[in-house]
Structure 1
Amino acid sequence: MSSSETIVLAGGCFWCTEAVFKEVRGVLDVESGYSNGQATRPTYEEVCTGRTGSAEVVKLVYDPMQVSTRQLLEIFFATHDPTQLNRQGNDVGTQYRSGIYFTMPAQQQVAEALIREANQDKLFDAPIVTEVVSLVHYFAAEDEHQDFFERNPHQGYCVAVAAPKVAKFRRTFRELARAG
């Protein structure tokens, strides 16, 4: 049995990020939560104020024998805008920042190398502003935020924002999609 690794990603609203990574082969668990702020056990309402310093994140537990850290980060960069500081589309505030919160030094090295390459190759119209820092803490979001897209596929935000990101993942990373 192979060992798993954990990485925490902030790519705007966690409903969208969670929806994408639930589709990825080798991702063993995806959980929405809050990370790297000053508050202890923040609530959704508190995080939405922007005053906790917490980001909306997803915690990914993955099998590195099935999907590499680099592949996960390539998906991450392709399914959100890493050049926008503290916003994703209409979601504005520090809680919607782009961030990679690593749990192992090797993840940091992969993230920094990928960002360097993307900026050198001008893959985006502006420089990447994604923060790459060690995971300080993580708190699971409330139950109603878990599996949100799966449970609410016809909700307006899911139709307008999450569904297109999932569709882009399926088109762009077909070889990394779960079977079935």
Structure 2
Amino acid sequence: MMHSSHTTKLPGSATEGVTKLAEITLGGGCHWCIEAVFQRLSGVIKVEQGFAQSAPPCDSWSEAARVSFDPEKISEEQLVRVHLHTHSATKAHSLRGKYRSALYFHNHNQQQRLTEILTVLGIEFSELLITQILPLQGFKATPAQYQNYYQTDPDRPFCQVYIAPKLEKLTRLLEDDKS
């Protein structure tokens, strides 16, 4: 099931006034980590972590997050940049199938934009990016009790060991962008 960018009016909610909502699905290690990073970005409306599936040969389900955002407040390029800098976008490891570094496109136009963005942002890294641009074939959210994982209990050992360092990277990245 592909999701495309769409226009939505959201009256009477935290997103009131948002008239255009876009989506991007990101794979990059643990979905709890991706979720925690993107929940902190201004312009991000919703982050739902779960599992993404693409087309063969990358059709195994991998951990990912679907990010809904207001493109008038944060761009797709800014989201991809944060994503690349807050996970191992240049390192291969034995569990890369389950934790693949990927940008899942929801439609052909997004595929073209993501390809251009990845090319432009690649110069920020001293090593070659292994991040793939893949068609999103399906997305399964994790059960409700696992959503908002870091926000629910940031003192969990997993949160302190794996998520907190990514949030520190995010803070440094945003500070660098201001200067």
TM-score normalised by structure 1 residue count: 0.79
Secondary structure of residue in 1 paired with 2:98: helix
Q: CA deviation at 1:167?
A: 1.9
- Aligned counterpart, 1:41: none
Query: Runs in 1 of length 4+ with deviation above 3 angstroms?
Result: none
- 8 Å CA contact retained: 1:33, 1:141: yes
Asked whether the 8 Å contact 2:81–2:121 carries over to 1, the reply is: no
1:155–1:33: structure 2 CA closer, same or farther, 3 Å change rule? same
Deviation at 1:58, TM superposition (A): 0.5
Residues 31-42 of structure 1 mapped to structure 2, 5 A cutoff = 31-36=48-53
Separation of aligned partners in 2, 1:53 and 1:62? 26
Secondary structure of residue in 2 paired with 1:29: strand
Pick closer, same or farther for the CA change 1:73–1:93 going to 2, 3 Å.
closer
Question: Cα deviations across residues 136-170 of structure 1 (Å, max 9, x unaligned)?
Answer: 11111112320001112111121011011112212
**Whole-Å separation in 2 of the counterparts to 1:86 and 1:78:** 17
Residue 114 of structure 2 corresponds to residue 97 of structure 1: no
**Structure 2 equivalent of residue 164 of structure 1:** 165
| SS of structure 1 residue aligned to 2:48 | strand
Q: Deviations over 1:52-77 (max 9, x none)?
A: 81110101011101111001001101
Query: Where do 5+ consecutive residues of structure 2 fail to align?
Result: 1-17
The more displaced of 62-71 and 109-118 is 109-118
Q: Distance in 2 between matches of 1:24 and 1:66?
A: 10
Distance 1:86 1:31, change over 3 A: farther
Contact 2:27 2:63 in 1 (8 A): yes
Normalising by structure 2, what TM-score? 0.79
Q: Deviations over 1:92-111 (max 9, x none)?
A: 34111101111133332232
Q: CA deviation at 1:11?
A: 1.0
Equivalent of residue 78 in structure 1, options 80, 85, 91: 85
Contact 1:26 1:62 in 2 (8 A): yes
Tell me the percent identity. 29
C-alpha distance in structure 2 between counterparts of 1:158 and 1:75, whole Å: 19
Count of aligned pairs between the two proteins:
157
Higher RCO, Cα 8 Å, sep 6+ = 1
Q: Is the 8 A contact 1:37 1:55 kept in 2?
A: no
User: Please, which runs of 5 or more residues in structure 1 have no aligned partner?
Assistant: 39-51
> Aligned ranges for residues 14-163 of structure 1 at < 5 Å?
14-36=31-53, 53-85=60-92, 92-119=95-122, 121=123, 123-163=124-164
CA RMSD in angstroms comes to: 2.1
